[in-house]
Structure 1
Amino acid sequence: MRNFIQPGKVITIVAAAAVSSGSLVVAGKIFGIAATSAAIGEEFELALGGVYELPKTSAQAWTVGAEIYADTDGIATTVSTGNTKIGVAIEDAANPSGVGRVRLNDNF
């Protein structure tokens, strides 16, 4: 196929804000984990899909399969209103706890 570009598991985008390697990044409807750090205006690699341990809203209990969203600060949450759906919890997470494991859904 002459029009095929790449598998799309990792893409290069421009940082709208400073990005740290390993952080959850939402750019419009694209979301993923920063594979590299970048300053504003620099290109960086964004990994799409996979399972990651992410910072979560501490005061929430998660159950396996719960829908997970990213808030505007890049924190994983079960609150859908005003947030971007990113995947599902792959294991229970206690209330309180600062992190949870999430399978990013690269098919939304």
Structure 2
Amino acid sequence: MAQTHVQPGKFMTYTNGTGSDIVSGQMVLVGSLLGVATVDIPDGETGELMMKEIHHLPKATGAIAQGVPLYFDADGDPVDGVAGSGALTTTATDNTLVGHSWAAAASDDAEVHIDLNA
């Protein structure tokens, strides 16, 4: 292993300074990287975010083909979720590139499989 190696990079320690509690499974944007909370992280506390691998996460209305770039719309409307709570989309404008679709999803599917930060 190279002397410069720090860690594998699957997880990131994150201190929640959002002003709200984060629940396990919630998407969290850190700069231009998307993580998924592995545990509940109360505001002001520290927890782990998973930063790699395939996850099924909330998406906005619209069909998604396999292998296309996915963007996080921080105030997007998930198909089966709270309006304005954030959703994945294929729309690049004003959104952050966070990975690629691992499988196709129909327009009314609530979730899409994403290869995080890939």
Give the TM-score category using the shorter length.
Answer: 0.7 to 0.9
Equivalent residue, structure 1, for 2:71: 69
Alignment gaps of 5+ in structure 1? none
Alignment gaps of 5+ in structure 2? 75-84
> Aligned partners of 2:6, 2:47: CA distance in 1, in Å?
18
Letter in 2 for 1:61: A
TM-score, length-scaled by structure 1: 0.87
> Aligned partners of 1:33, 1:89: CA distance in 2, in Å?
16
CA RMSD of aligned residues (A): 1.5
Equivalenced residue count is 104
Per-residue displacement from partner, 1:16-68 (whole Å, max 9, x unpaired)? 232111111102123211111111111010111100000000x2100001110
Equivalent residue, structure 2, for 1:10: 11
The runs of 4+ residues in structure 1 deviating greater than 3 Å are: none
**CA positional deviation for 1:69:** 0.7
Equivalent residue, structure 2, for 1:94: 106
TM-score, length-scaled by structure 2: 0.80
Q: Percent identity?
A: 32
